[in-house]
Amino acid sequence: MIKKCFAIFSLTSAAAFAQMTPVGVWHTIDDETNQPKGEIRIVEKEGVLVGTVGRALKEDPNAKPNCDKCADDRKGQPIIGMEIIRGLKRDGKPEENLWAGGGKILDPTNGKVYTVKIVPIEGGKRLQVRGYIGPIYRTQFWNRVE
């Protein structure tokens, strides 16, 4: 009986901890309409997080299919499938669930690259994404895809 309770507790704890990681699929939210706009898949590779654009969730006839404004190796590349988050590492205390460590995020609509910090919040259901250029920052909240 004790082993069974421990096993259930271990699985429950592991599931809860797993949800407090940025790893997973997220819906970005349009700042103007507050509706889901795109899908980003975040994976961990050797302790570093990488995020790629999965698909657009909203039809936009003016959307460019390629990143023409990018200035790095992504210039002219298709936005769908593009790596927009690079180099994120766990930062600070583990219980803070902060990922930064010099990571960068690209906004493919304008080609700008920002220093980024992300934190899973609300039990891992949402992700606070904060991009910085110097002292100026912008915060978005993404929703986890269940």
Across the chain, what does the average pLDDT equal?
Answer: 87
d(CA 74, CA 76): 6
14 lies in a domain?
A: no
What is the pLDDT, as a whole number, of residue 15?
Answer: 43
Question: In sequence order, what are the beta bridge partners of 131?
Answer: 116, 138
What is the pLDDT, as a whole number, of residue 10?
Answer: 41
- pLDDT tens across 90-99, in order? 998 777 889 9
131 lies in a domain?
A: yes
85 lies in a domain?
A: yes
44 lies in a domain?
A: yes
Per-residue tokens: 55? 């698909």
d(CA 20, CA 14): 10
12 lies in a domain?
A: no
16 lies in a domain?
A: no
128 compared with 14, residue with greater pLDDT: 128
Predicted confidence (pLDDT) at residue 9 exceeds the cutoff of 90: no
User: In this structure, what CATH number is given to the domain that contains residue 27?
Assistant: 2.40.128.520
The string of DSSP codes covering 85-137 is EEEEEEES-GGGTEEETT-EEEETTTTEEEEEEEEEEGGGTEEEEEEEETTEE
Candidate ranges 16-30, 35-49, 90-104; pick with highest mean pLDDT: 35-49
Closest CA to 141 of 11, 132, 125: 125
Q: What is the mean pLDDT of residues 7-27?
A: 63
Per-residue tokens: 16? 């809860």
CB atoms under 10 Å from CB of 19, counted, come to 15
pTM given for the model: 0.83
Question: In sequence order, what are the beta bridge partners of 7?
Answer: none
Predicted confidence (pLDDT) at residue 18 exceeds the cutoff of 80: no
62 lies in a domain?
A: yes
Predicted confidence (pLDDT) at residue 146 exceeds the cutoff of 60: yes
| Structural domain boundaries, residue 89 | 21-144
**127, 39 in Cβ contact below 8 A?**
no
56 lies in a domain?
A: yes
Give me the number of domains the chain comprises.
Answer: 1
